[in-house]
Structure 1
Amino acid sequence: MNPERMKIFVACGAAAGIAAAFNAPVAGALFSVEIILGDFGVAQFSPIVIASVMATVVSRHFLGDFPAFTVPKYELISPLELIPYAVLGLLAGLVALMFIKTLYRLEDFFEELKINAIIKTMIGGLLVGLIGVFVPHIYGVGYKTMNLALLGQLPWLMMLALIFLKLLATSLSLGSGGSGGIFAPSLFMGTMTGGFFGALVHQLFPAYSASSGAYSLVGMGAVVAGATHAPITAILIIFELTNDYKIILPLMISTIIATLLTTHLKKESIYTLKLIRRGIDLFRGREINLLRSLKVSEVVRENPVIIPLDLNFKSLLELVVNSPHSQFFVVDRNSRLVGSISIQEVRQALLDQEALTDLLIALDLVKPDIPRVGLNLPQRCYRHLQPGTGETESEPGNIQFGEIAGQNPNC
């Protein structure tokens, strides 16, 4: 089967699963587009929407048309409350980063153990079981515990503890080879993060803040957005869970801040990092900036024109006329790079050609302060090099301007 078509089938399955599990068809469709495909084209989006709709219809037929969580009505008490919601976004981003790092560090730890894979899974299950004996809230998806947090019926200290216990239990389970998902645990940790933070905010500013349940709801979306790098999906799934537009403003600011923080500190999401570690890049060759994937070594000309510093102007002029190159590199007697001469310097010298023909040599025209780059430097960084900076190469190569046009200014 065509790899692109296979990717669309996988996206359809993911969309159907999210839509059916959370009764959220729109969020399910956008989850697949935002995380798996990264392409909103009609040809790719259409089958995903159909799969999401059909899964929701089947789910509602057998399970009923009701939200996954019991969510009371919330509202923004005061515009000033957006400030703690912004802080919640930062906190949620840190929790998402902690989840990503803990999960893959434990996965690496179990992979390094020189024991049978079944025993590894048994060890992971034993450790999760020991946690669950004392704190049974970490078992399963945790819908009941999340509903209690959303209703403001959990003490803040318990919610704080559940953030780390759920994170550890999920990482142990998946890292040791167990089967499970990441989306629902992210919702759980987000609910507890928001609930803990909201309880503190409400105690400090009761007149200007909503109950902890509102923060649990927003935190749920913010941690999901931070872990998956999918803010649109996070916003829409919370909106579909509540069917209430009033929570959308704090939800938007928290999810975007959480996403900005995690994408700045961690390029890959919790999903794509798993694939990257296996050598699979879903977006290879389709970067927003195509030059992200190119190195200087891929476009450098390995046969530049090298001239001695005492070459007379007449010989240099003949070389310029007969060469397709626009840049000429001058070296000393020890073959060390002195600088470069471009056509521009030659043109200026031509104005006084009659008087200077027999006097000028290459050294008189050389431009010593030229950017020097290493072969592994991304092309997108090339235009930001100042004269005399970068990594010096013993053998100069020539990168023509036309080969680096259109690059991203953000290096």
Structure 2
Amino acid sequence: TPLAAILLAVEVLLFEWKPRSFVPVVVAAMVSFAWRPYLIGSGPMFPMASILPETNWALPASALIGLLVGVEAMLLSTALYRIEDLFHKLPVHWMWWPAIGAIVVGLGGLIDAHVLGAGYASIDALLNGSLALKVVLALLVVKAVVWLVALGSGTSGGVLAPLLILGGAAGFLVGGYLPGDAGFWAMIGMAGIMSGAMRAPMTGAIFAAELTGHFDAIPCTIIAAGAAYAVSVLLMRRSILTEKIARRGRHILQEYTVDPLDLLQAEQIMTPRPRVLPGHLSIELALQFFTAHAEHRSYPVVDVNERLLGMVSRTDALRWQGDPGLARSTLADTISDAALPVAYPDTPSGVVADLIIETGIGRIPIIDRETHKVVGILSRQDLLKARSANRVAETDRDRFVGGRTQSQPPHHGRPGPVG
């Protein structure tokens, strides 16, 4: 499954589409694909005889199975970590936990031997519809209990094959009431549960098709994977894989997002028309301003045409207090514009953020490219407001149907120049 292998690495391991990670994954997948015929043969891993049902209800039925296995994925993930918590509460040393889990696995094997082992034979039998109904029920219930207790006890075990069995069993049972072969609907269930439990919708959709060679079923696997993914996102905070990592204090963002600061220009989030200080203002009056009226740490200094001369800060004011000889000097004569960091209205906000970090200056003046007049100030607070607004838009959930418009961070106008 070369394409599914690439998507699996991207959606489950890397969480990014950057060339530095995508290209090596493609190379590794293609090298493996090239060697496969010489090592284990070619063709689908689980060839199946089932065909796509010739009915207009195939897509809605696939969506239904996707919704059901999405709920199943949520229940499995919740049960797994509840069982893990119960093991932590046992009054025995943790080294005995796998032994307790082994007892449950053994009891499950006594009920039905199909629940033991890696489960590849069960996957093949589900896809080809060769299992009795009671065996499928055992796979759905007993296999789930055995697998969850084994993992919850700390025993090493896989996730992919058990998920395929559980999703396939659910699809098989529902498929008994749908047109077409139950094996086909088992494949749809496998696509859905992989998407819902692992938060890997494209991997689930393509993996099921490549696994069986039924590429004509991709529309059905896509809609099942999409439905299961939607249920998973609504009902689970994290996937069954990332929940374990989150419990260790490391929270992984499993979404592909662009930094909002790279999408916004400086003029969209800056504070327009900031308060400025005229260049002819004396140092004495500037000190009075910083003592009694200043609300920010620094202010732009402009000439009579409102063109930027430099920036003056509280640090400058403290330094001037120790030099009485500067009292009658003007700001224009005292400040220096050497290496003054500035940005323009169309400068990406991410670039301004980097400029703040590199220079250590918390307020960057935004000037017109042609006139050099000050049109705004972009501060650390403006950047954080923009980031916060984007986070709220992405994560807030409202109890109504319809869109929600996020307002821009509030800006404060300025009074006229001081002087």
How would you bin the TM-score normalised by the shorter chain? 0.5 to 0.7
When residues 120 and 290 of structure 1 are mapped into structure 2, their CA distance, relative to the original with a 3 A threshold, is farther
Correspondence 1:217 to 2:187? yes
CA RMSD of aligned residues (A): 2.8
SS at match of 1:200: coil
CA distance in 2, matches of 1:286, 1:246: 28
Partner of 1:377: none
381, 385, 400: which one aligns with 1:404: 385
List alignment gaps of at least 5 residues for structure 1.
1-23, 202-208, 292-317, 326-398
SS at match of 1:270: coil
Preserved CA contact (<8 Å) 1:152 1:213: yes
When residues 142 and 41 of structure 1 are mapped into structure 2, their CA distance, relative to the original with a 3 A threshold, is same
CA deviation map 1:367-402 (0-9, x unaligned): xxxxxxxxxxxxxxxxxxxxxxxxxxxxxxxx9666
CA distance in 1, matches of 2:250, 2:257: 15
The alignment's TM-score, normalised by the length of structure 2, stands at 0.62
Preserved CA contact (<8 Å) 1:186 1:220: yes
Q: State the identity as a percent.
A: 30
Residue identity matched to 1:233: T
Partner of 1:344: none
Correspondence 1:322 to 2:289? no
CA distance in 1, matches of 2:253, 2:206: 24
CA deviation map 1:239-262 (0-9, x unaligned): 212333321111111110000101
Residue identity matched to 1:121: P
62, 66, 73: which one aligns with 1:89: 66
CA distance in 2, matches of 1:213, 1:232: 21
Partner of 2:359: none
Residue identity matched to 1:44: S
Equivalenced residue count is 283
When residues 111 and 217 of structure 1 are mapped into structure 2, their CA distance, relative to the original with a 3 A threshold, is same
Correspondence 1:153 to 2:130? yes
- Aligned-pair CA distance for 1:43: 1.1
- Aligned-pair CA distance for 1:216: 0.4
CA distance in 1, matches of 2:120, 2:167: 13
CA distance in 2, matches of 1:103, 1:162: 17
Match runs of 1:99-248 below 5 Å: 99-201=76-178, 209-248=179-218
Partner of 1:251: 221
- Aligned-pair CA distance for 1:103: 1.2
CA distance in 1, matches of 2:383, 2:44: 56
Correspondence 1:28 to 2:9? no
When residues 102 and 134 of structure 1 are mapped into structure 2, their CA distance, relative to the original with a 3 A threshold, is same
Residue identity matched to 1:98: L
Preserved CA contact (<8 Å) 2:108 2:143: no
Residue identity matched to 1:116: H
CA distance in 2, matches of 1:245, 1:233: 14
Residue identity matched to 1:211: D
Residue identity matched to 1:67: P
Residue identity matched to 1:51: A
Match runs of 1:297-376 below 5 Å: 322-324=293-295
Q: Which has the higher Rg, Structure 1 or Structure 2? A: 2
CA distance in 2, matches of 1:234, 1:283: 19
The alignment's TM-score, normalised by the length of structure 1, stands at 0.63
CA distance in 2, matches of 1:285, 1:83: 27
CA distance in 2, matches of 1:121, 1:402: 50
Q: Which moved more, 1:101-110 or 1:236-245?
A: 236-245
When residues 61 and 402 of structure 1 are mapped into structure 2, their CA distance, relative to the original with a 3 A threshold, is closer
- Aligned-pair CA distance for 1:112: 2.3
